Amino acid sequence: MTLLEVNDLAVEFTTAEGIVQAVKGIDFAVARGQTLGIVGESGSGKSVTSLAVMGLHRGAKVTGSVRFEGTELIGAPDETVRRLRGRRMAMVFQDALTALHPYFTIGDQIAEAHREHHGSSRKESWARAVEVLGDVGIPEPARRAGEYPHQFSGGMRQRAMIALALSCEPDLIIADEPTTALDVTVQAQVLDLLMRLKDERGLGIIVITHDLGVIARVADEVLVMYGGAAVEQAGAERLFTAPRHPYTRGLLESLPRLDAADGEPLHAIPGNPPSLLAPPAGCVFHPRCPVYAAADTGQRELCTAARPPLRLLADGHRNACVRSEETT
């Protein structure tokens, strides 16, 4: 059953330098028990997309449609969005030390969220805080609930963030770079925890990351973003085994390989992500694209004439490269 449906979502910021088109025409859906991975470099628009879904973009112009179980959130009264946010849709932020309040105990912060959304008593909400801390694997949860964020390790703080998100029993969790600050062992534990909770509770999960290793571990469906737009979308297995867009291929080739020969240099995508104030004409990736670089003048015009839309291909892939058939 579809939990979240996003159609033609666009987010614009007005700045002193001009209009920044941070997200342009994004479509995706998330069902119960499904994990959508959104991947891209910094500035690709992935975090802006998640904040727009949560209604956390004050001051930005947000257009398109975000429907949560059929309820339209774009343009909805603040009260409607507030009722869903935290209670039905929760967010796990990337830097738990910044996201958690340093003056309040972990238990107080979880209990407060539960009281706010469920109208529970102090005693009930504290019991719920201890329960969810136990659910996410915090040892001695009754004692640790009384500790402050600085007394938790990085991995435990991230678990506490997940407990905070879970405390109101949401249906959808958006995890923005949930493991970026963690070492690989703790990273694996946190991802396994999210997947266990998804399976046990039938949650829909959106994982936002720049790390394809995280995507490979958790995602059923993958959306690749570049320059504020989706450039490729496919099932995770298909995307990893048969990527179609040159940007996705560049990301995959940039992963360090254990079987690389000694001294073999790491591959990198040349250049930098585009400025969204003045993006390149046509395909925004063209200044960095190896296919464009190798093409003759006539073929290059295909890439720069207009921004390629995300097209559905025969194999179920969606791809925004005008030359994807030739370059496969």
| CB of 308 closer than 8 Å to CB of 320 | yes
Q: How far is the CB of 305 from ligand SF4 (least distance, A)?
A: 10
Please state, in angstroms and rounded to a whole number, the distance separating the CA atoms of residues 81 and 168: 15
Binding flag, residue 310, ligand SF4 (CB under 6 A): no
| CB of 57 closer than 8 Å to CB of 11 | yes
In sign, the C-alpha dihedral spanning 155, 161, 162, 167 is positive
Using CB under 6 A, pick the residue from 246, 273, 274, 279 that binds ligand SF4: 246
Binding flag, residue 226, ligand SF4 (CB under 6 A): no
Q: Which stretch binds ligand SF4 (CB under 6 A): 100-108, 201-209, 250-258, 279-287?
A: 279-287
Q: How far is the CB of 26 from ligand SF4 (least distance, A)?
A: 18
Using CB under 6 A, pick the residue from 111, 164, 182, 289 that binds ligand SF4: 289
CA distance readout (Å), 236 to 215, 241, 284, 306, 313 = 8, 9, 24, 28, 16
Please state, in angstroms and rounded to a whole number, the distance separating the CA atoms of residues 5 and 119: 29
Q: How far is the CB of 249 from ligand SF4 (least distance, A)?
A: 10
Binding flag, residue 291, ligand SF4 (CB under 6 A): yes
Q: How far is the CB of 47 from ligand SF4 (least distance, A)?
A: 23
- Residue numbers 124-183 binding ligand SF4 by CB under 6 A: none
Please state, in angstroms and rounded to a whole number, the distance separating the CA atoms of residues 236 and 74: 29
Q: How far is the CB of 327 from ligand SF4 (least distance, A)?
A: 6
Q: In the structure encoding, which two tokens stand for residue 181, read together?
A: 């600050």
Q: How far is the CB of 323 from ligand SF4 (least distance, A)?
A: 4
CA distance readout (Å), 59 to 12, 55, 154 = 9, 11, 32
Q: Which of 169, 180, 191, 229 is nearest to 26 (CA)?
A: 229
Using CB under 6 A, pick the residue from 99, 197, 229, 303 that binds ligand SF4: 303
Binding flag, residue 279, ligand SF4 (CB under 6 A): no
Binding flag, residue 24, ligand SF4 (CB under 6 A): no
Q: How far is the CB of 223 from ligand SF4 (least distance, A)?
A: 16
Instruction: Compose the 39-68 pattern: x for residues touching ligand SF4 by CB under 6 A, - for all others.
Output: ------------------------------
| CB of 286 closer than 8 Å to CB of 271 | no
Alpha helix (H) residue ranges in 40-95:
46-53, 78-84
Under rule CB under 6 A, how many of the chain's residues touch ligand SF4? 13
Sequence-separated (6 or more) residues with CB below 8 Å from residue 104: 112, 148
Closest CB to ligand SF4 among 246 and 274?
246
| CB of 3 closer than 8 Å to CB of 30 | yes
Closest CB to ligand SF4 among 30 and 321?
321
Binding flag, residue 224, ligand SF4 (CB under 6 A): no
Using CB under 6 A, pick the residue from 292, 307, 317, 318 that binds ligand SF4: 292
Q: In the structure encoding, which two tokens stand for residue 141, read together?
A: 């949860």
Closest CB to ligand SF4 among 34 and 324?
324
Closest CB to ligand SF4 among 286 and 317?
286
3-state secondary structure of 232: strand
**Contact positions vs ligand SF4 (CB under 6 A):** 245-246, 283, 285-286, 289, 291-292, 303, 308, 321-323
